[in-house]
Amino acid sequence: MFHWLEKNPFAFAVVVIVTIAFAGLVEIVPHFAQQARPVIGTTPYTTLELAGRHVYIKNSCNACHSQLIRPFKSETDRYGHYSLSGEYAYDRPFLWGSKRTGPDLMRVGNYRTTDWHENHMKDPASVVPGSIMPAYTWMFTNEADIDTAYAEQVTVADFFGVPYNEPIPMKDGSTKIIKMGSDVAEARAMALAEAKLIAQDMKDQDVKDAVANGKIPEIVAIIAYMNGLH
């Protein structure tokens, strides 16, 4: 057998390629499958956070802000630990981005507050001198689309097995449950309850009044989303 292979270089090359390919698959596929699973502590988005993510996408925030920290010292020194694939397990679609006009927002929830985001979205230059980011004043009056966010929750729970209403392991050994409403009405009520907690830390009285009256401005939803990026 081996003598025959030595005399037939083409067959020998095919056998070598097949052997290396098989060995590579055995080594890579299980590791890839493991790394693609949710990192401990990664949780699905709440209804309000998902509505905020939709606002983020609608306004093309990912055109100027990436959400991917690469394993380079210059990036980890500034933004923290490099991104892991399992941290995006509940992102559909991924918002990695390919350009950084502004800073990476992968873990912005660790170092920015509701008050900071409110001021920044209303008048970026007042918070970051020299900023070229435009003001997003319409977010303070436009109402967030909670119904679409809930529809996405139902879809990903049914088709992708996203663990809503199930215990999720956290890094400290505890568990956390991200609840999903049983219907649209309950989802709206849950989103509004979360919005009220965020509005408490905001200064804009019109936004506070809107939330008190049962409405959720887009600014509240997008702040919920960014506060959840850890």
Read off the CATH number of the domain in which 207 is found: 1.10.760.10
Residue 216 domain flag? yes
pLDDT at residue number 197? 97
**What is the total count of domains within the chain?**
2
Residue 55 domain flag? yes
| Residue 165 shares a structural domain with residue 77 | yes
| Residue 72 shares a structural domain with residue 21 | no
Give the distance, in angstroms, between the CA of residue 56 and the centroid of all CA atoms in the same chain.
Answer: 10
Q: Is 165 helix (H, G, I), strand (E, B) or coil?
A: coil
| Dihedral class, residue 80 (left if φ above 0, else alpha if ψ from -120 to 50, else beta) | left
The predicted-structure confidence for 135-194, as pLDDT tens digits, reads as follows 999 999 999 999 999 999 999 999 999 999 999 999 899 999 999 999 999 999 999 999
Q: Is 21 helix (H, G, I), strand (E, B) or coil?
A: helix
| Residue 134 shares a structural domain with residue 202 | yes
Residue 40 domain flag? no
Q: How far is CA 160 from CA 29, 74, 77, 152, 155, in A?
A: 20, 36, 35, 11, 8
Residue 61 domain flag? yes
| Residue 152 shares a structural domain with residue 176 | yes
| Residue 19 shares a structural domain with residue 113 | no
pLDDT at residue number 17? 87
| Residue 23 shares a structural domain with residue 55 | no
- Residue 27: pLDDT band (50, 70, 90) is low
H/E segment holding residue 101: none
pLDDT at residue number 140? 98
pTM equals 0.85
| Residue 153 shares a structural domain with residue 106 | yes
**Domain range holding 201?**
47-227
| Residue 57 shares a structural domain with residue 168 | yes
User: CB 15: neighbour CB atoms within 10 A?
Assistant: 13
Report how far residue 208's alpha carbon sits from residue 195's, in angstroms, rounded to the nearest whole number. Answer: 10
Query: What are φ and ψ of residue 143, in 5° steps?
Result: -95, 135
| Residue 169 shares a structural domain with residue 147 | yes
Residue 41 domain flag? no
List beta partners, residue 167. 177
Residue 91 domain flag? yes
pLDDT at residue number 2? 60
Residue 42 domain flag? no
- Who has greater pLDDT, 219 or 23? 219
| Residue 58 shares a structural domain with residue 27 | no
Report how far residue 99's alpha carbon sits from residue 90's, in angstroms, rounded to the nearest whole number. Answer: 22
Residue 58 domain flag? yes
| Residue 76 shares a structural domain with residue 174 | yes
| Residue 154 shares a structural domain with residue 97 | yes
- Rg (C-alpha) for the chain, rounded Å, is 23
